């Protein structure tokens, strides 16, 4: 059986990733594809337990090193329990955040040595690389204003301050620049419909899906 495609969405707070993930999944299902929608941190029962530790509480609850280790503990189980089995059966997996978020949040914005994260990824996630990563980009202040309008308690990272989030934005853009064959940057300041149209165009041109 042909292996499925692994598609990830990345970006800072308020870029609309969750909405675009949902719309892409709907679009792919309409084409008759088997599609699994998931997210990080989380995506599997054990990983969801770790998610609660990471996204709630005080902004300084964890150091960047501790965050990285927690994220990878969740990621290993998410990959083992959900993503790899789905890809192996031929399903496409669309994931809201993956390893690029750890690099952007904990290294570019948090200051952790990127080589440590790269080494950890190689040691724990060999072969676990997306086929396509869509980076949604928006001005820092606009994204934070959007994020502030959400009504949930998962606000730990949003409260890390504007400078953190500006470093985060530039980090995602640099990640995309370093991996142009895998990543595509889309302007998230556009309307939801315009962004989704760009997403679908990327899926068709890069992966021949849809």
Comparing CA positions, the residue from 90, 177, 91 lying closest to residue 133 is: 177
| Residue 67: CATH number of its domain | 3.40.50.300
Per-residue pLDDT tens over the stretch 81-121:
999 999 999 999 999 999 999 999 999 999 999 999 999 99
Residue 71 structural domain: 6-207
In a domain, 1, yes or no: no
Domain annotation covers residue 168: yes
pLDDT band of residue 159 (cuts 50, 70, 90) is confident
Mean pLDDT computed over 151-174: 86
Tell me the mean pLDDT in the region 147-168: 82
Within 13 Å, how many C-alpha atoms sit on residue 58's CB side? 4
- Number of folded domains that form the chain: 1
Instruction: Kindly report, residue by residue over 18-75, the tens digit of the pLDDT.
Output: 999 999 999 999 999 999 999 999 999 999 999 999 988 888 899 999 999 999 999 9
């Amino acid at each position: 059986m042909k292996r499925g495609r692994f598609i990830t969405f990345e970006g800072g707070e308020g870029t609309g990733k969750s909405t675009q993930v949902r719309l892409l999944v709907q679009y792919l299902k309409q084409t008759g594809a088997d599609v699994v929608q998931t997210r990080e941190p989380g995506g599997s029962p054990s990983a969801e337990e770790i998610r609660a530790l990471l996204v709630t509480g005080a902004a300084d609850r964890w150091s960047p090193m501790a965050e990285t280790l927690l994220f990878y503990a969740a990621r290993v189980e998410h990959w083992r329990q959900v993503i790899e089995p789905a890809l192996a059966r031929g399903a496409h997996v669309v994931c809201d955040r993956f390893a690029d978020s750890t690099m952007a949040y904990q290294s570019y914005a948090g200051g952790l040595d990127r080589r440590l994260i790269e080494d950890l990824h190689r040691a724990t996630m060999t072969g676990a690389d997306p086929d396509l990563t869509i980076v949604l980009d928006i001005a820092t202040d606009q994204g934070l204003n959007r994020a502030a309008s959400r009504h949930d308690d998962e606000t730990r990272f949003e409260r890390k301050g504007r400078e953190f989030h500006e470093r985060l934005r530039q980090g995602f853009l640099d990640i995309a620049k370093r991996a142009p064959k895998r990543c595509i940057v889309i302007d998230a300041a556009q309307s939801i419909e315009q962004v989704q149209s760009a997403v679908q165009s990327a899926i068709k041109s890069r992966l021949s899906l849809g």
